[in-house]
Homo-oligomer: A and B are copies of this chain.
Amino acid sequence: MKNRIITISREFGSGGRTIGKMVAQELGIPCYDSELLEKIAKESGFDERYIQEAGEYAPGGFLSSAFSHHPSGPNNADYLWNIQFRIITQLAEKGPCVIVGRCADYILRDKADCLRVFIHADMDFRAERIVKVYGESQQSPQQRLKDKDKRRAAYHRFYTDMKWGHAQNYDITLNSGSLGIDKCVQIIKSLY
């Protein structure tokens, strides 16, 4: 039996993570997201919260002082990337699963049995959703979204040289705002 992997890249607040979990649950296969972070953290010695916050950002000077108990060096982000690359490859070899974020789409790009999904939505939908899911913050929701999008795109581009959100990189892209989260889950499920 061939492994069947679904990778989900997503704009912040688009519900991509929720969609990934729902798809995995309905298909009865694991979904790696925070679980993946824990694995990376354990293997790298980096603090899990640091990985969560910095792990999707393009490498820069601000990273060098943020890790927890690993000797300092110029290549923290690259070191993390290598571990992430290995873990994602291993998970995909282990069996069918959904992997959310972390450039899994790129890492598994040559796997024939991998469905690459991108979830996005317009600003209003996402702004309302992040306040509901993550609560208010000092920054406006719009500013939080712009900031996060920019960082994810830069991270993605740095490591993959692919254009973030470019249809050609994916088997399917879905607007969760206009189609609705349940419909997105149904469509992805139907492609499994």
Identify which of B171, B173, B186, B191 contacts A170 (C-beta below 8 A): B173
Number of copies: 2
Dominant SS among interface residues on chain A: mixed
A115's nearest neighbour on chain B, judged by CB, is B178
Tally A residues with Cβ within 8 Å of B.
Answer: 20
Q: Please, what's the 1-or-0 string for A173-192, where 1 marks a CB less than 8 Å from any CB in chain B? A: 11100110001001100110
**A121 to chain B: closest residue by CB:** B168
Q: How many whole Å from A160's CB to the nearest CB in chain B?
A: 15
Cβ of A167 within 8 Å of any chain B Cβ, yes or no, is yes
Contact (Cβ within 8 A) A175 B166: no
Asked if A21 is at the interface (CB within 8 A of a chain B CB), the reply is no
Q: Which residue of B lies closest to A11 (CB)?
A: B168
Give 13 A-B pairs besides A122-B168, A165-B167 with Cβ atoms closer than 8 angstroms: A118-B167, A120-B167, A120-B168, A166-B167, A167-B167, A168-B175, A170-B173, A170-B175, A172-B172, A172-B175, A183-B191, A186-B190, A187-B187
A–B complex contacts, Cβ < 8 Å, 8 sampled? A118-B167, A122-B168, A170-B175, A172-B174, A172-B175, A172-B187, A179-B191, A187-B190
- Residues of A at the B interface (CB closer than 8 Å) are 118, 120, 122, 165-168, 170-175, 178-179, 183, 186-187, 190-191
Closest 5 CB pairs of A and B: A167-B173, A173-B173, A171-B175, A165-B167, A171-B178
